Amino acid sequence: MNKKVRKAVIAGNWKMNKTPAEAKVLVEEMAPLVKGADCGVVVCVPYVDLCTVLDAVKGTNIEVGAENCHWEKSGAYTGEISADMLVSMGVQYVIIGHSERRTYFGDTDVTVQKRVRAALDAGLTVILCVGEYLEQREQGITDELVAMQTKIALGGVSKQELSKIIIAYEPVWAIGTGKTATAEQANEVCSVIRGVVAGLYDNAAADALTIQYGGSMNAKNAEELLDQPDVDGGLIGGASLKAADFSVIVKAASR
């Protein structure tokens, strides 16, 4: 596998944090610190912040994503947001299948697949999250589980469409806990995912796929994680809420 053929992407996942006013301050602080980065820089923000953040990133290298989308184009789905609505605002990315959506809001492999389809149809780039719970790691089924999540989510995705997919490996036990996977553990599972993609498509498609690690990645551990051959970037929660920390991670990915 050749890391040189694919792009590193550092994406922030703000989760349910920051009002529009706070979001503006954070992005304005972040923009000069990540200017000229040799990697993709994305902030995925709450729906209510999208308008403000899209405006604040104009003229910068920061791209904007949402944290979820519904699979239908429109209709009687109170409280939901469609992929087309996001695109109409100028949003380019969407996180799909985050473990917090799976755990707290009933997202399943099947609904994840439907959301991926809708997002691709609308023209969004998908950050598809997969990852195991601690119990599953202890049971020794991490590889099988992550392979299954990947296969189901990519069901119906063509080889050409794969260029609009980033996969984020996020072990659930490492999210927001301060417990990072070791660089070896992160690389091992990212490499399993790449192998699954090679099996579904071919080696060239797998080589070109950006695979991020997520789970307590921070300014201190980013370099070691990003140095791994199959880790092409990060999906950052807590540390993406601090401009200085986020920019250190972006710099580590730019080397």
Least distance between ligand 13P and beta carbon 222 (Å): 11
Interface with ligand 13P includes 237 (CB under 6 A)? yes
Interface with ligand 13P includes 63 (CB under 6 A)? no
Nearer to ligand 13P, 40 or 237 (CB): 237
Interface with ligand 13P includes 238 (CB under 6 A)? yes
CA 44 vs CA 63, 75, 242: distances in Å: 9, 25, 14
Interface with ligand 13P includes 216 (CB under 6 A)? yes
Which residues, 11 to 40, sit near ligand 13P by CB under 6 A?
13
Q: Which of 170, 188, 223, 224 is catalytic?
A: 170
Q: Can you say whether the dihedral through the CA atoms of 76, 77, 79, 85 is positive or negative?
A: negative
Least distance between ligand 13P and beta carbon 181 (Å): 11
Helices 109-122 + 142-153 axis angle, to 10 = 40
Interface with ligand 13P includes 126 (CB under 6 A)? no
Q: Which stretch binds ligand 13P (CB under 6 A): 35-43, 113-121, 189-197, 230-238?
A: 230-238
Interface with ligand 13P includes 215 (CB under 6 A)? yes
Number of residues written out for the chain = 255
Is there a catalytic annotation at residue 22?
Answer: no
Contact residue for ligand 13P among 18, 98, 115, 194 (CB under 6 A): 98
Q: Can you say whether the dihedral through the CA atoms of 174, 196, 168, 109 is positive or negative?
A: negative
| Residues classed as catalytic | 98, 170
Site residues, ligand 13P (CB under 6 A): 13, 98, 170, 175-176, 214-217, 235-239
